[in-house]
Amino acid sequence: MSDVNKVVLAYSGGLDTSVIVRWLQDTYGCEVVTFTADIGQGEEVEPARAKAEAMGVKEIYIDDLREEFVRDFVFPMFRANTVYEGEYLLGTSIARPLIAKRLIEIANETGADAISHGATGKGNDQVRFELGAYALKPGIRVIAPWREWDLTSRETLMNYCRERDIPVDFASAQKKSPYSMDANLLHISYEGDLLEDPWAEPEEDMWRWSVSPEAAPDTPTYIELTFEAGDVVAIDGERMSPATVLETLNKVAGANGIGRLDLVENRYVGMKSRGCYETPGGTILLKAHRAIESVTLDREVAHLKDELMPRYASLVYNGYWWSPERKMLQVAIDDSQKVVNGVVRLKLYKGNVILAGRKSDDSLFDASIATFEDDAGAYDQKDAAGFIKLNALRMRIAAGKGRSPL
């Protein structure tokens, strides 16, 4: 007799998680609760309900988490200008702590003693889901079928469905894209198949959210983003919710060929992995946020943020969103954003995000001091001589002792 009575499964309604529902029922003899999150993946989530019901699932959760996702996860991450390994905007990574949080909430609501997910034993997502779950409910049991079963391919999964009358559209499953894809409001990712060869160029018809830069309009698109406390609150003067901001930016950026990335990244589990990503709106957000910070942040604060960012990015990538160190960094980052207010104007053209202007009532840019014209005594250039000599003092002393840098 299994010691698992009820398990909450992160359920998409696709082939893998449909198999997992039946596998959990067969292997553990337990009741399965399904949880399907709408985080802007661009596909209908409601059909998952009918599929779960057809397999005897009694408790079915389908939640619209788009606003929470952008407001409480994407925006806080972008306040830090977060980029992993110089390029990746962490679209998959940042969605996992929200899903883990909701899995635990549902487990508490339903009295479940375990949660389950469809992440494989090779990837980062298993780590992200489980670190989050353990941080939020230390005694929870986690069942990861891909680490237990002997189903190793799409064909074996489909055979399992046939043998157990699992309601799957086999024709659709066979026509499915050859790539392993993950999508949410921030990005869509592609892995596997052709992309497993780092020398192979991605096929043009793989991309879903953006036109190629060559096919983008021949005239630029101008856009203005209004920031309050580090977050975009309006586009071209129209106030919008966080999710609507990102949806709008995805559309305008994708139409201008912006946001494509081809990356070989270092997974937390140790292997290198090649993936392609489309992050149209996020690419604009990063450029605009750094632009408004350039005029509003103190120099040392800005530099310290840049020093902390790689650590913050690693915490998000590796699954430590709910860790005390990430929360500590977030407090410092958010405090710096109190003055990050103003408007950034951008020119979007054939894959490029070009800064066209920035203004802020909190700007530290003082034209009367920085001007190349007559500054009317606002800055005494003679002061620079002493400043330079003092900063050169240690090198002058060393050189005087014969420690030439040549």
Active site residues: 16, 96, 125, 180
Please indicate if the annotation marks 10 as binding a ligand. yes
Please indicate if the annotation marks 17 as binding a ligand. yes
Please indicate if the annotation marks 294 as binding a ligand. no
Q: What are phi and psi of 8, to 5 degrees?
A: -100, 120
Please indicate if the annotation marks 116 as binding a ligand. no
DSSP codes joined into one string, 113-168 = SEEE----TTSSHHHHHHHHHHHH-TT-EEE-GGGT----SHHHHHHHHHHTT---
Per DSSP, helices labelled H in 13-74 are 15-28, 47-54, 66-69
Please indicate if the annotation marks 124 as binding a ligand. yes
Please indicate if the annotation marks 125 as binding a ligand. yes
- Cβ within 8 Å of residue 69, ≥6 positions away: 39, 40, 95, 98, 184, 185, 186, 243
Alpha carbons 264 and 54: distance in angstroms, whole number: 40
Please indicate if the annotation marks 79 as binding a ligand. no
| Residues found in the chain | 406
- Cβ within 8 Å of residue 238, ≥6 positions away: none
Please indicate if the annotation marks 28 as binding a ligand. no
Tell me if residue 97 falls in helix, strand or coil: helix
Please indicate if the annotation marks 273 as binding a ligand. no
CA angle, 106 then 107 then 108, to 5°: 90
Please indicate if the annotation marks 177 as binding a ligand. no
DSSP conformational letter for 54:
H
- Cβ within 8 Å of residue 339, ≥6 positions away: 296, 297, 362
Please indicate if the annotation marks 385 as binding a ligand. no
The sign one gets for the Cα dihedral 169, 174, 180, 184 is: negative
Please indicate if the annotation marks 80 as binding a ligand. no
Tokens of 100: 């883990």
Alpha carbons 177 and 64: distance in angstroms, whole number: 25
Please indicate if the annotation marks 277 as binding a ligand. yes
Please indicate if the annotation marks 15 as binding a ligand. yes
Please indicate if the annotation marks 128 as binding a ligand. yes
Please indicate if the annotation marks 13 as binding a ligand. yes
Distances 387 to 205, 382, 393, 394 between C-alpha atoms, Å: 58, 9, 10, 13
Please indicate if the annotation marks 118 as binding a ligand. yes
Please indicate if the annotation marks 312 as binding a ligand. no
Please indicate if the annotation marks 14 as binding a ligand. yes
Question: Helix 299-318 to helix 324-336 angle, to the nearest 10 degrees?
Answer: 150
Annotated binding site for L-aspartate: 120, 124-125
User: Which residues are known binding-site members for L-citrulline?
Assistant: 88, 93, 124, 128, 180, 189, 265, 277
Return binding residues for ATP.
Answer: 10-18, 37, 118
Annotated binding site: 10-18, 37, 88, 93, 118, 120, 124-125, 128, 180, 189, 265, 277
